[in-house]
Structure 1
């Protein structure tokens, strides 16, 4: 499952698990409806812009990481070529620098992954707020006591009649024609390249000395 869908489902499950209307069980008959939050989000026009903004942000992070990796590789190659002619002090300094660069790259990659997820949440929040308000309005207008979410890793709704599905009603309330929009391609879970995993420079130098 892609990161975009994971974020959609996680936020949807937290924010849109159910909605109550002003009616209570004591005041009106129980009427339950359900919707697929993921489906409705994919149909909303905001979805394409969210995907575009997320892709642009991901590309920026990827470019920064590639630059860090290129710098590391250049310095690592220079070290390998000149290690035999270096003094112990210079060699140790170079190895320390390379180890530091490796750590910096790995830390940046972790930070970039977290930053990407936070960006997704920020971009999705206005759409989710709009969806929540629309669900509230549709539920009130049509007398639904509860509206459940039918998708997610652990859906709140496991079974329900077709007439209880109010997804299309929600879309029409927002002025969206159900099924007219194509769900945008979700961003990859990881758009940044892997950090260097080669053995520490110091180990390579010691092997060379033994030979």
Structure 2
């Protein structure tokens, strides 16, 4: 078993040694894309529409609840059950809407970001091929050191035509 692990390690090492491995910080590129302003605006508009829809449901619930309380004494048992069922149905709908809201926002965000990811992917492909990289990994919090010669982030930013203003020391 130990021999097998060592053999796999050396095979992996030799496979990596035959190629040039680079890294890229997709989140940094994405955050500096000018299109992100539009994406953010679209997400805010979508969130505002969801809030509006939720408020309509809540207003409908309140209105039915107030009407029920006002006429409760005059209703038959069957009418009370019917109105209570309607209130419970709307209440469940509100709860379901609230639970799904975060998921819907995430889905919409991915939908808006997909064209940007495609743009980054095309630039990454072009830069990686031009610089002879055979593998490119995404920079994560787990990476504690990355040789700048193998970081493709700035090359991809340049390929996309994005200009980044340099921060002066002391600015935040």
Asked if 1:76 is matched to 2:65, the reply is: yes
TM-score by length of 1: 0.64
Which whole-Å CA distance do the structure 1 matches of 2:133 and 2:149 have between them? 12
Match of 2:103 in 1: 114
Which whole-Å CA distance do the structure 1 matches of 2:19 and 2:93 have between them? 57
Match of 1:173 in 2: 159
Aligned partner of 2:116 among 127, 131, 139: 127
Which whole-Å CA distance do the structure 2 matches of 1:94 and 1:173 have between them? 62
Note if contact 1:33-1:144 (Cα within 8 Å) is conserved in structure 2.
yes
Which whole-Å CA distance do the structure 2 matches of 1:78 and 1:35 have between them? 60
TM-score by length of 2: 0.77
**Number of aligned pairs?**
153
Asked if 1:54 is matched to 2:43, the reply is: yes
Bigger-Rg structure (1/2): 2
Note if contact 1:172-1:178 (Cα within 8 Å) is conserved in structure 2.
no
Alignment RMSD? 2.4
Map Cα deviations across residues 54-113 of structure 1 (whole Å, 9 max, x no partner). Answer: 111111111011111111012113323443443322221211110111122223334444
Which whole-Å CA distance do the structure 2 matches of 1:60 and 1:150 have between them? 35
Asked if 1:34 is matched to 2:23, the reply is: yes
Q: What residue ranges of structure 2 are gaps of 5+ in the alignment? A: 1-14, 167-172
**SS at 2:136's partner residue?**
strand
